Structure 1
C-alpha cells in the first residue's frame, strides 16, 4: 500500500517490502527556540502554528518554510489513520535520517530516541497505536548549530554560508514510512560476494524467533529474469549464515561481474517460513565484484583499473541535502557518467540510499565518506564512532561502494600530526572499518596526514601544468611534494607501496549562472575554462605514478562556483568536450 506524495519512491531499495505506507508530505511544525516543548509536553498537546513538507528540512525552499537561521530545536506532528488490515501486525515506523538527535512519541508514548544525523532508525509502535483510528506521531529534533565537535559535514556553524561551508540541515531530511510485518520477520541482511570462489555469503537476521517453532529462510536468486538457484535453510537462533555457490559463473565468468561499464546485478528474494508458512518476503539484489591491491596495483575484479572520479557534495538548490526527486539523484549519476567519470567521492555526506541504488543500477564506483566534525573531543569520538558503525552497516550491501573514507583532511583531528590521541583515533577508525568490512579499501584520512591506509590519497589544487607534470613524474616526487604545505604521512607511518591517487584537484571557478562565488583558480570564459581544465587533466593522464583521480567538483554549491555543472545542473562546457578531457581520449 502506497500513497503518492513527496519523494514517493520506496526509500530502502536493497530491502524492499511490497506493503508499506509513505508518511512524507505535509506535517505540522514549530520552532522551539527556548527548548521548552518537552517540559511542556508538546508530544501530548500543542497548537502547532506551521506546516512543513517532509522530508525537506525547514532551511530548504521545498519544505515550504525556507528560513536559514538558527533554530536548533524543532517539532513535527502528523495525524495518521492505521488501516484495519494492519491489525495483528507489528508496525515499524522508519526514519531515513533526522539531523541530529531525535525523539519520537506516538499517542503521547515515547517510542524511539536516536543520535546521528545521517543514519536510519526505526520504532516498533505496535503497542502505542490505535488500529482503525487516528494516531498522533510527534517528533522532536535537536541540532546544535554552533557545536564544531558534531559530525556535521559541510553544514556551517555560522548563519551565512561562506567558503567551503553551506546552509545547515536541521530535522527530518530523508523519508519517513510505516511497514506492517508479522511478529516473525526479517530484520536485515548482509551480502558478501566472492568472485574468486564464485559464491555469495548471505547472513539473515530475524526478529520474533521462538525456540518451539520451525523457522526457515528460502533464498531465490535470479539474473536478468533467469533462474539461478533456490535454497532453503533452517534458523537456529535469530540469525543464519549460508554460502551460496553461483554455478552460472562457470559458464559466464566475466560477463556477470559488476563493473561501471557493465553493472550486472543478481536479484535476490528472501522468504521467512514459520512452521511452513511464509511470514515475510523481502526483495534485494547484489553485484559480484572485488576491489583489491596486488603488488601496489589497484584492481577491480582482479584487473588493473583506473578510478576516474568526481567530488560530489550532494547538495541541491531547493532541497539542500535532500534531492527534490528520485529522478534528480539518477540524473546526477547519468551526468557524471556522460562526462567520462566512472566514480564519485560523496564528500562529507552519507548519501541517500536511493543514490546508491542508482549507482548500483547504472554503474558508478562510490567512495563512502562520513560527515566529519571539525574539532576533536572525547564527546566527538563517541558520537563519530557510533554513527560510522551505523553507516557501514546501512551501506554494506551496495556493490557500488568500493572504499570507505571515515576522515577527510584531518577534520575532527586537526592536530593529528603531533597529537598521539588523534593519531590513535584515525588509526582506530581504519582498523574498526576493516573489522566490519574486510572486502573494501579504507583511507584513514583522505588528503594528507595519513596513518595506516590502503591508498595514498593526495589533495593538490596546483593549477600550473608544468608544476603538475614535474610533481607527478615519479613516485618520490609525488610522495614528498607536500601540497597545501601538509605532510602526506604522519611521521612514524611509512609508505608501504600503496597505490597513489590524486583525490582532490581542479576546482576551477567559472561563473555561468547568477551565482556569485569562488574557486581555486578562475576562468574568464569557456575557452579559458577548457584550457585550464586541459592543463590540469593532461598531467594526471600522463603520470606514471597516479592510479586514479577525483576532480573537484561535479556541481557548483551555493557560493562555490567550481563545478563542471552549475548548481542547477547545466554543463559549463558541452558534455562530450568534458568527457574527452576527463578520459584523455579524443
Structure 2
C-alpha cells in the first residue's frame, strides 16, 4: 500500500470531472460495470445492403467508389429480420453489409479511440475508411478495435460485413430457426449487428477488464484487473469503494504488467451489528460503487507505441456483496436457504426480435418479472444484453446465465461454444444478479449424452471450465436431464395435471429413485454426479392461452379463458411449491414468442390474467 485514506482522497479529487455513480446510471450505457465519461452511442440509422451472391469482398465494398449500394437504411442494432430495423425481411440472407459515416464531433476525446460492438451474429469484418480494423467470430460476444490510427480528417466511414449461415448448425444458435419460417419452439433468425455499437475515448494505457470477487465471510472484495498493455514498474492503481457517499474501503497500490489483483477489506463487515446492510439480495439489492484510477508511471506506459503518454484512466464501476452455493439439498444465497421462484425468459420482442427495442425496454422487462411475483429469471438460449443485467443487479432479480446451443456435435461446434462461453464468463461474472451458470440445455448439441462418452466428457468439461474461471457460482451441466457433475439437479416436466405432479415430487427419494425424467431421459449420467444436489423443476407449465392468436399457436397444454388460466396455474404451482423435495422452480414462460403462445403475458407484455392474481400465485412459498 502506498497511501492512507486521506492521501488517496487527495489523489482522486483533482480537477477532472467526477464520474457518475455506476450503480445509479439510467441504463443506457452498454457496459455498465466499466464506465468512462467519454463515449458515443452509434445506434440509429446506418446504410445497409444484402450480398446474397457474396460479391462484396471481391468487389471491395469496404472502399469508397465501388459498386456497393448502401441505399437501404437499417436501424442499428436491430437485426434486419425485425420490423424495427426498417428492413423486416425474414428470408435467407447469409451475408449483409453496414455503412456509417462518422463525423469528427462524434469521436470522443482520448488518446486512443475504441470501436465497440456488443454482438454481431455470427462472423464479421470491420473497416474504417477502407482499412481493416479487425475481424471477429462469435454471434453473442463483445469485441472492440482500436481505430485511432484509421481516422483521418473530418469524417470517417465505418463498414461492417456480417456473415451468418442459417444452415450451419455447428454455430451456437439458440432459438434461431434453420427453416425459412418459424416452427415449434424456434423463432426468426438474428443476423448481423444486434447489440449496441459505440465509441469510447481512452488513455493509451487503460483498464481493459474489471472483475469483482466477493468473500462474504471475510468481509472482503477483490478487484481483478486486466490492462490494455504491460504497465511499467511504479504505476499506481487507486480504488475507492463507497455506498451513498460513505467511504467503505480504499487502496492505492503499485502495479506492473498486464494484470493486477487488489483485495479491499470492508471494515464495516467485521462485526455483526450492521452485517446485513451491505449484503445484496432480492429483498435488499444493495450495490456498492467503486471508482478506479490508473496512473501510469512517468509517462512511459505509451513508449511501446511511440507515445509518451502519462494520462490517467478513470472508470466507474459497482458490485454486490453476496455469495451463492448449494448444500443439504438447498440453494443458498448469502449462506441461507433460498427458494428460487423463476420464470423462463426468451428475451424476444415482436418488433425487434432478439435485440432490445430500447434500453428502457430492458428495465421494463426486469420490472415486469418482479411484478409477477418471481424472484429470478432464466435467460433461455441467449446471452442477454448487459443492460438487462444492470437492471437485474439494481432491482434485485436473480438470473441464471444460459448459453445458446449449437445443434451439432462436431469439433467446430465444441470450439465455438467454448470460445463464446469463456468470453461471456469474462463479460458477465461480476454481476451479482447472476447466481447460476447453464452451459447446456436438454442435451441440445449432445443428443446422445447418455450413450456417447465423448459427449459426457464435453459436458463435464464445460462444468469444470466454468468452475476454473468462476468458482463462486453453482453450475448445471445440462439443464433438464442427463446431468454430469451438476451442482443442481434440474428437471423439465410439462405434465399439466396438478395431482400427478404433486405425487411425482412427493419426496426426494421418489424423484431420485425413478432414474428417468418424464421425457424418458436419464436424470443422472455417470458415477461422479453428486446426488445430494438440490432438485429443481426448471421447466414446467407452458400453458397456452391466446386472444385471436396465430393459427399455429402452440403450447404444452391450452386453456380457453383467463379464469381457466388462473385456475390451472393455481393448482399446478401449488403442487410444485408443496413438494418437500424441490428447492425451487422455473415456470415456462414469461411472454408469448411468435407461435409459442404459452406466456404469462402476450407479446406486447400485457398480462393474460389480472396481475394481482398472477402475483399471488407466483409469490407463493413453501
Aligning the two structures, in what range does the TM-score lie when normalised by the shorter sequence? over 0.9
Deviation at 1:47, TM superposition (A): 3.1
Written as runs of structure 1 = structure 2, the 5 A alignment for 1:40-59 is: 40-45=59-64, 46-59=68-81
**Contact 2:27–2:387 (8 Å) recurs in 1:** no
User: Structure 1, residues 422-472: CA drift from partner, whole Å, max 9, x if none?
Assistant: 111111001000100000010000001111110000000011111111100
User: Structure 1, residues 358-396: CA drift from partner, whole Å, max 9, x if none?
Assistant: 000000000000011112111101111101110110001
**Contact 1:8–1:22 (8 Å) recurs in 2:** no
Hey, what's the Cα distance between the residues in 2 that align with 1:441 and 1:185? 32
Question: Which residue of 439, 446, 449 corresponds with 2:472?
Answer: 439
The answer for the alignment partner of 1:300 in structure 2 is 333
Written as runs of structure 1 = structure 2, the 5 A alignment for 1:82-481 is: 82-83=104-105, 89-130=111-152, 132-211=153-232, 214-249=234-269, 250=271, 251-275=273-297, 279-479=312-512, 480=514
User: Structure 1, residues 38-71: CA drift from partner, whole Å, max 9, x if none?
Assistant: 1111111333231111011100111100000010
Q: Which moved more, 1:273-282 or 1:219-228?
A: 273-282
Q: Give SS of 1:242's match.
A: strand
**Contact 2:43–2:197 (8 Å) recurs in 1:** yes
The answer for the alignment partner of 1:33 in structure 2 is 52
Deviation at 1:488, TM superposition (A): 0.9
Alpha-carbon distance change, 418 to 585 in structure 1, aligned in 2, over 3 angstroms: closer
Alignment RMSD, CA only? 1.8
Question: Which residue of 543, 552, 570 corresponds with 1:534?
Answer: 570
**Contact 1:509–1:522 (8 Å) recurs in 2:** yes
For the pair 1:566 / 2:566, whether they are aligned, the reply is no
Q: Which moved more, 1:82-91 or 1:458-467?
A: 82-91
Deviation at 1:161, TM superposition (A): 0.5
Alpha-carbon distance change, 244 to 585 in structure 1, aligned in 2, over 3 angstroms: closer
For the pair 1:557 / 2:593, whether they are aligned, the reply is yes
Gaps of 5+ in 2: 1-16, 18-25, 299-309
**Contact 2:49–2:69 (8 Å) recurs in 1:** no
**Contact 1:195–1:289 (8 Å) recurs in 2:** yes
**Contact 2:167–2:178 (8 Å) recurs in 1:** yes
Deviation at 1:230, TM superposition (A): 2.1
Q: Which moved more, 1:448-457 or 1:7-16?
A: 7-16
Hey, what's the Cα distance between the residues in 1 that align with 2:147 and 2:106? 15
The answer for the alignment partner of 2:43 in structure 1 is 24
Q: Which moved more, 1:483-492 or 1:176-185?
A: 483-492
Deviation at 1:477, TM superposition (A): 2.0
The number of aligned residues is: 579
Deviation at 1:87, TM superposition (A): 7.3
Q: Give SS of 1:145's match.
A: coil
User: Structure 1, residues 196-216: CA drift from partner, whole Å, max 9, x if none?
Assistant: 1000011122124453x6311
Hey, what's the Cα distance between the residues in 1 that align with 2:157 and 2:470? 40
The answer for the alignment partner of 2:579 in structure 1 is 543
Alpha-carbon distance change, 571 to 88 in structure 1, aligned in 2, over 3 angstroms: closer
Hey, what's the Cα distance between the residues in 1 that align with 2:222 and 2:181? 48
Q: Which moved more, 1:134-143 or 1:490-499?
A: 490-499
Normalising by structure 2, we get a TM-score of: 0.90
Hey, what's the Cα distance between the residues in 1 that align with 2:322 and 2:78? 35
Hey, what's the Cα distance between the residues in 1 that align with 2:246 and 2:319? 15
Deviation at 1:274, TM superposition (A): 2.4
Deviation at 1:494, TM superposition (A): 4.6
Q: Give SS of 2:391's match.
A: helix
User: Structure 1, residues 177-236: CA drift from partner, whole Å, max 9, x if none?
Assistant: 11111111111111101111000011122124453x631111011112222222111112
Q: Which moved more, 1:508-517 or 1:407-416?
A: 508-517
Q: Give SS of 1:485's match.
A: coil
Deviation at 1:491, TM superposition (A): 4.7
Alpha-carbon distance change, 86 to 347 in structure 1, aligned in 2, over 3 angstroms: closer
For the pair 1:579 / 2:615, whether they are aligned, the reply is yes
Hey, what's the Cα distance between the residues in 1 that align with 2:106 and 2:417? 42
Gaps of 5+ in 1: 2-6
Deviation at 1:238, TM superposition (A): 1.9
Deviation at 1:297, TM superposition (A): 2.5
Q: Give SS of 2:519's match.
A: helix
**Contact 2:204–2:311 (8 Å) recurs in 1:** no
**Contact 1:169–1:321 (8 Å) recurs in 2:** yes
The answer for the alignment partner of 2:6 in structure 1 is none
Hey, what's the Cα distance between the residues in 1 that align with 2:548 and 2:465? 44
Deviation at 1:492, TM superposition (A): 4.0
Question: Which residue of 449, 464, 486 corresponds with 2:521?
Answer: 486
Deviation at 1:295, TM superposition (A): 2.7
Hey, what's the Cα distance between the residues in 1 that align with 2:105 and 2:54? 34
The answer for the alignment partner of 1:4 in structure 2 is none
Hey, what's the Cα distance between the residues in 1 that align with 2:621 and 2:27? 40
Hey, what's the Cα distance between the residues in 2 that align with 1:576 and 1:551? 17
